């Protein structure tokens, strides 16, 4: 049985969390999992394929193997483990894009400003990069692509849980506001064969969605329209429901009220808004939402409690009707015209 660690030992390990995170990032960057998908290989062989020094690679792989990512078989030969396998590209539920995006240098530069932001109220990302996140992406299209793919990668387990948790049968047209590459909308349309969908996002993202496999799949493409624009100006008209996943958490309350008001103005008479986000519960339990909230603090957004959602809904002329939990970490916060 593993020895129970003392509090200083646990704290030592917590404090080096970024070492492991950075190693996982390097493994993703070098596509080491892809290089091992046909079976074990020697470090020499891997180093040549990855264009990296063999001794450094050996130490990187040995450290990763100590936390279950890759395993050494014999004579400096490494193989995939179930954890390492998630870093392969092009597989269902791949975590490659997430591992690549979440520890990329642009994110690190913003995290360096977290304490400054906490002291001054400045948005750390703005201090680091001079522009808000989504403006930054307009000039860094490669980062935007990896960001889009990383959202799809963390959505693989979340989307089926969302589609299963909510009864979409009473809805005829569903608008996915800030729907990214369309993986959520495609999942919901697949499980609701008569539902029509509108995927709405910024022009550069919609251009990418048109080439991606989600809303272009047979059986989906016929029922799905793609529209681009700025959701702070307007959202497509005539929807019965406006779903927004991981959208409100990117923004401050004022911006969210504007966006919710735009949905209210465009939706059909009995229309609904469906906000899909973490709903923060009280208590000290481990929580994906409470940690993701710090990433949001860095870009100027926040995760919210039910009460905080209700207050923003009220300001936008909406009434929070219920919170529908999903089997994943996210909940669906439903609202109608007040
Ligand atoms: C965190 S991602 C969420 C994507 C998707 N809903 C998901 O869960 O995978 C936020 C999305 O909002 C879009 N977005 C940001 N600002 C926007 C704006 N002003 N108008 C339209 N879309 C915007 C981004 O392009 C991005 O696709």
Phi and psi angles of residue 65, each rounded to the nearest 5 degrees, phi first: -65, -30
Question: What confidence score (pLDDT) does residue 92 get?
Answer: 86
Question: What confidence score (pLDDT) does residue 93 get?
Answer: 87
Torsion of CA 66, 14, 82, 76, to 10 degrees: -20
Question: What confidence score (pLDDT) does residue 111 get?
Answer: 97
User: Residues lining ligand 1, CB < 6 A?
Assistant: 134, 151, 155, 178-180, 184, 201-202, 205, 230-232, 245-247, 250
Question: What confidence score (pLDDT) does residue 237 get?
Answer: 97
Q: Which residue has the tokens 């646990």?
A: 10
Q: Where in the chain is the domain with CATH 3.40.50.150?
A: 140-337
HEC string for 283-314: CCCCCHHHHHHHHHHHHCCCCECHHHHHHHHH
Question: What confidence score (pLDDT) does residue 168 get?
Answer: 94
Question: What confidence score (pLDDT) does residue 2 get?
Answer: 76
Q: Which atom of ligand 1 is closest in space to residue 205's alpha carbon?
A: 25
Q: Which residue has the tokens 């004022």?
A: 254
Question: What confidence score (pLDDT) does residue 327 get?
Answer: 95
What CATH number matches the domain at 7-88, 2.60.15.10, 3.40.630.10, 1.10.10.10, 3.90.1640.30?
1.10.10.10
Tell me the β-bridge partners of 335.
Answer: 273, 320
**CA of 285 relative to ligand 1 center, distance in Å:** 29
Is 149 within 8 Å of 97 (Cβ atoms)? yes
Is 94 within 8 Å of 88 (Cβ atoms)? yes
Query: In whole angstroms, what is the distance from residue 41 CA to residue 97 CA?
Result: 23
At 164-197, the pLDDT tens digits run 999 998 899 999 999 999 999 999 999 999 999 9
Phi and psi angles of residue 168, each rounded to the nearest 5 degrees, phi first: -90, 0
Query: Is 140-337 a domain of CATH 3.40.50.150?
Result: yes
Spot the catalytic one: 25, 96, 214, 249: 249
Does the active-site annotation cover 116? no
Torsion of CA 175, 98, 157, 246, to 10 degrees: -30
**CA of 305 relative to ligand 1 center, distance in Å:** 21
Q: Where in the chain is the domain with CATH 1.10.10.10?
A: 7-88
Q: Which atom of ligand 1 is closest in space to residue 232's alpha carbon?
A: 19
Q: Which atom of ligand 1 is closest in space to residue 230's alpha carbon?
A: 20
Question: What confidence score (pLDDT) does residue 56 get?
Answer: 98
Question: What confidence score (pLDDT) does residue 1 get?
Answer: 67
- Shortest-distance Cα residue to atom 20 of ligand 1: 230
Residues of the chain with pLDDT under 70: 1
β-strand pairing of 41-42 with 77-79: antiparallel
- Shortest-distance Cα residue to atom 18 of ligand 1: 230
């Amino acid at each position: 049985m593993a020895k129970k660690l003392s509090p200083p030992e646990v704290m030592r390990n917590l404090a080096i969390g970024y070492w492991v995170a950075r190693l996982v990032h390097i493994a993703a960057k070098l596509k080491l999992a892809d290089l091992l998908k046909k079976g074990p290989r020697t470090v020499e062989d891997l180093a040549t394929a990855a264009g990296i020094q063999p001794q450094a690679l050996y130490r990187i792989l040995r450290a990763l193997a100590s936390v279950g990512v890759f395993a050494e078989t014999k004579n400096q030969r490494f193989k995939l483990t179930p954890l390492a396998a998630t870093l392969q590209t092009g597989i269902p539920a791949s975590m490659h894009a997430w591992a690549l995006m979440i520890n990329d240098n642009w994110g690190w530069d913003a995290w360096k400003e977290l304490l400054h932001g906490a002291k001054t109220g400045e948005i750390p990302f703005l201090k680091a990069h001079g522009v808000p996140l989504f403006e930054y992406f307009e000039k860094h299209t490669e980062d935007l692509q990896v960001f889009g793919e990383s959202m799809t990668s963390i959505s693989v387990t979340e989307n089926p849980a969302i589609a299963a948790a909510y009864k979409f049968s009473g809805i005829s047209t569903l608008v996915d506001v800030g729907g990214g590459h369309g993986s959520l909308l495609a999942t919901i349309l697949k499980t609701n064969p008569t539902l029509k969908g509108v995927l709405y996002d910024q022009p550069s993202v919609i251009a990418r969605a048109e080439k991606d496999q989600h809303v272009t799949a047979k059986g989906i493409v016929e029922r799905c329209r793609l529209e681009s624009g700025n959701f702070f100006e307007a959202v497509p008209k005539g929807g019965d429901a406006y779903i927004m996943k991981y959208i409100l958490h990117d923004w401050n309350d004022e911006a969210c009220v504007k966006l919710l008001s735009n949905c209210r103005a465009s939706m059909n008479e009995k229309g609904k808004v469906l906000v899909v986000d973490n709903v923060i519960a009280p208590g000290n339990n481990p929580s994906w939402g409470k940690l993701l909230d710090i990433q949001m603090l860095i870009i100027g957004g926040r995760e919210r409690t039910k009460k905080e959602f209700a207050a923003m809904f009220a300001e936008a002329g909406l009434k929070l009707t219920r919170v529908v939990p999903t089997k994943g970490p996210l909940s669906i916060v439903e609202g109608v015209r007040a």
